Amino acid sequence: TVLIQISTDFVFAGTGNQPLVETDPAEPISVYGLTKLEGEQVIAPLTDKYFILRTSWLYSEYANNFVKTMLKLGRERDELRIIWDQVGTPCYAIDLAGCVLTIIETQSTAYGIYHYSNEGVTSWYDFATAIFELSNTTVKTVPIRTAEYPTKATRPAYSVMDKSKVKQALGVAIPHWRTSLQTCLGRLG
Q: Which residues are catalytic?
A: 32
Q: What Cα–Cα distance (Å) separates residue 75 from each residue in 33, 54, 67, 81, 173? A: 32, 32, 13, 14, 34
> Count of CB atoms within 10 A of residue 126's CB?
16
What angle do helix axes 177-188 and 124-134 make, rounded to 10 degrees?
Answer: 50
Q: What are phi and psi of 70, to 5 degrees?
A: -65, -40
Burial 4-39 (b: 16+ CB within 10 A, else e): eebbbbbbbbbeeeebbebebebebbbebbeebbee
Contact 52, 39 (CB under 8 A): no
